[in-house]
Amino acid sequence: MNIETKIKEEAIYWIACENEGLNELEKQEFKHWLESNAKHAKAYNRMKFVHQMAKSISNENAKGLSVQAHKEARKIRFLEKTKYLSSAAAIFLLVCFSIFKIYDNNFAIQYSKTFQTDKTNLANQQLPDGSNIFIDAKTNLKVEFFKGKREITLNDGRVMFEVAKDENRVFIIKSGDINIEVVGTKFEVIHKKDTTTINVEEGIVKTYFSSYFFDKQNEKILTKDNSITYSNTIGIINKQDEIRSEKIALWRKNLIAFNKTTLREALEEFSKYNDISSSFLSKEVAEYQITGEFSSTQLDIFLKTITKIYPIKIDKKDTEIRVSKRI
């Protein structure tokens, strides 16, 4: 038996003992075991997760897992280590061991790739399953494929997804604690510091907030032309609206769309595609709003436009832009 398997078994043993209750001596032994090797604590924490899975399955499935676990146990003489435990604890231990094997089989990474863009976007990046992703500037995401699911972690930025249909593997996007689940569809996900927005161009999308395993809050089913914005921190729905398909992910055409967007936010958008920094000498000016579409390469036209709309002055020197109120 290799050392990894031995540590897994020991972690399962201590979980079972905890469920039955530890005396003072056992508590000391358990503490020593945790602290003696960093791998012990890691295996124990993973088994805590497995414990949650075990509690969620039906009795019928638990019996099936127990039968499978007994078969595996005979191969490694695992039952010898549990013969002094109660029947319930032994069954729990065996079910957990079986679930752990299922966990390993279904969550072993088959494909992994990280994408990070600077001031240019990446068009039509094809994934191994046939899905395509369009990645905006200043975007960071990680793609991981497993046997039973396809998962994207969007850390920042905007991505347009064209998901290839696969009934056996759900496609999941995680934007902080906001989750988006699909089988095959087209939609945009925008991750900002405080919010996540999902715009659906085609198909059906399920969205929800989940801060821990099995928890789903504010779950919504979105269809074509639906748009929703969640708070990243507490998962409330800030806005739910309709959006025309042709207005989704305009950045693919090098366009920036503003809808009652503050000048501060507008210049932050331009800074994704241009090497600039901006500052405002007045909070009032920074909160002025703009609506319209502009080319991401036409910063000067944008600056000229806002000076015609508002009584403001633009001082541009090299890559620095200063905005103040016109006197």
Domain shared by 101 and 206, yes or no: no
For residue 66, pLDDT over 50 is answered with no
Whether 264 has a pLDDT exceeding 60, the answer reads yes
What pLDDT sits at residue 228? 97
Same domain, 115 and 243: yes
Q: Mark whether 132 and 241 lie in a shared domain.
A: yes
Confidence of residue 250 (pLDDT cuts 50, 70, 90): very high
Q: At 208, give phi and psi (nearest 5°).
A: -170, 165
Residues 124 and 242 in one domain: yes
Own/partner contacts of 266-270, CB < 8 Å, gap of 24 or more, are: 266/290, 266/302, 266/306, 267/321, 267/323, 270/296, 270/299, 270/302
Domain boundary among 205, 225, 247: 247
Distance, first Cα to last Cα, the chain: 80
**Cα–Cα distance between 142 and 154 in angstroms, integer?**
7
Residues 122 and 146 in one domain: yes
* Rounded-to-integer distance, Cα 270 and Cα 272, Å: 5
The number of domains in the chain is 3
Buried b (16+ CB within 10 A) or exposed e, 38-67: eebeebbeebeebbebbeeeeeeebeebbe
| pLDDT tens digit sequence for 190-207 | 999 999 999 999 999 999
- On whether both 96 and 28 belong to a single domain, the answer is yes
Residue 178: CB partners within 8 Å, gap ≥ 6?
A: 196, 207, 208, 209, 230, 232, 235
Q: Are 195 and 237 in a shared domain?
A: yes
264 and 234 together in one domain: no
Domain boundary among 225, 247, 269: 247
Let me know whether 89 and 203 are in one domain.
no
Q: How confident is the model at residue 293 (pLDDT cuts 50, 70, 90)?
A: very high
Domain containing 130 equals 111-247
Write down which residue in 82, 106, 130 finishes a domain: 106
| Confidence category of residue 8, pLDDT binned at 50, 70, 90 | confident
Q: Are residues 189 and 276 in the same domain?
A: no
- pTM, full prediction: 0.68
Kindly state whether residues 13 and 90 are assigned to the same domain: yes
The CATH number of whichever domain residue 308 belongs to comes to 3.55.50.30
Q: Quick one: 144 and 56 in the same domain?
A: no
For residue 92, give the nearest of 105, 82, 102 by alpha carbon: 82
Q: Are strands 320-325 and 277-280 parallel, antiparallel or unpaired?
A: parallel
In the chain, the amino acid numbered 44 is Y
CA-to-CA separations, 93 to 87, 179, 244, in angstroms, rounded: 10, 31, 53
Number of H helices, E strands in the chain: 8, 18
Q: Taking residues 54-70, what's their average pLDDT? A: 48
Of 71-75, 218-222, 254-258, 261-265, the range with the lowest mean pLDDT is 71-75
% of the chain beyond a pLDDT of 70: 80
Average of per-residue pLDDT values in the chain: 84
Which residue in this structure is represented by tokens 């059906």?
204
pLDDT given for residue 38 in this prediction: 85
Q: What is the CATH number of the domain that holds 189?
A: 2.60.120.1440
